[in-house]
Structure 1
Amino acid sequence: MFAIRRATQEDIDLIRRLAREAFPATYRELLTPEQLDYMMAWMYAPEVLRRELDEGFAWFIASADGEPCGYLSVERQESALFHLQKIYVLPRFQGCGAGAFLFRCAVEYIRSVHSGPCRMELNVNRRNRALGFYFRMGMRRLREGDFPIGGGYYMNDYIMGLDIS
């Protein structure tokens, strides 16, 4: 049984612990160890998470039978545009519906804060095996790009979109 709750500043250590397991497992075959380390520090440093929570990013933590199993964050970028910044499931919970649960929770959150039609977008590495998952969840590929993130590294992504009514 899955449950979800909104994360707070008190959850920063938990988010970091979940990310240390989920993020490298997702990207170890796609990125160098150096880029993985760089991206972990860039995205999951305590001050980064604190700033995002202060600035209104909606962070959520999912649990399966009481055990944390994944997380997501959503950023409102424009009036009717939201960005699914993060959606990760711990490896041992993949394949049992946790990802779909998190995805649906992101959509439900967006509907709760925006009453009209809008779009949810996300960036996904062009070689990420989660691409099939996003297509199954109803997303479509909008565009692609190579985005510099500092340190000489790039995110080579598709930008996927889901129209929400």
Structure 2
Amino acid sequence: MIALRKATEQDIPVIREIARTTWEPTYVPIIGAEQVTYMLDKMYNEGALLEQLSEGHTFLIAEIMKKSVGFAAYSVIDHELRTFKLHKLYVLPEVHGQGVGKFLINEVVDRIRDVDGKMLELNVNRANKAKDFYERAGFKIKETVDIEIGNGFQMNDYVMVMPILPV
């Protein structure tokens, strides 16, 4: 059984550990160890995560038998258009295939629907097999982007979108 809880500042070490554990096998083959280290240091340091929480990012942590096994983070990015962004979704490799990612996506969609959200978007690396997972969840590719992130690195992503339909 998968349980869910909203993360607080006290969960930052858990979020950082899940990110580190999932990023290395996922991204090192795609972008290399140097860029993975750079991005983890930049996006998952304690200050960056505190800033994301203070800017209104909601972090949800999935647990199995009281062990944190994944998380998602989302926020509104356009109030007028009621558009939200799924900033992060990571599940420990040891529980892949057990429905944790689907559980997290469904929970984010339900929460966005509850506040009358109309659209959910995300970025995914073009070589990341998670793209197929997102397509199965209902996302479609909107555009291809290359984003400079510093230190000579860039993210080569698809922007994917999914309409949030009323129940």
Same fold flag (TM > 0.5): yes
Opposite residue 38 of structure 1, the aligned amino acid is: Y
Alignment of 1:122-161 (within 5 A): 122-161=122-161
Secondary structure of the 1:127 match is coil
Alignment of 1:35-114 (within 5 A): 35-79=35-79, 80-112=82-114, 114=115
Secondary structure of the 1:147 match is strand
Opposite residue 12 of structure 2, the aligned amino acid is: I
Q: In the aligned structure 2, how far is the partner of 1:25 from the partner of 1:106?
A: 25
* 1:67-104, Cα deviation, whole Å (9 max, x unpaired): 11100100211111111000000000101111101111
List runs of 5+ in structure 1 lacking aligned partners: none
Opposite residue 71 of structure 1, the aligned amino acid is: F
Q: How many residue pairs are counted as aligned between the two chains?
A: 163
Opposite residue 30 of structure 2, the aligned amino acid is: L
Deviation at 1:25, TM superposition (A): 2.0
TM-score (norm 1): 0.95
Q: In the aligned structure 1, how far is the partner of 2:88 from the partner of 2:24?
A: 14
Q: In the aligned structure 2, how far is the partner of 1:13 from the partner of 1:131?
A: 27
Once superposed, which parts of structure 1, at least 4 consecutive aligned residues long, lie more than 6 Å away?
none
Q: RMSD of the TM alignment (CA)?
A: 1.0
- Identical columns (%): 39
Opposite residue 88 of structure 1, the aligned amino acid is: Y
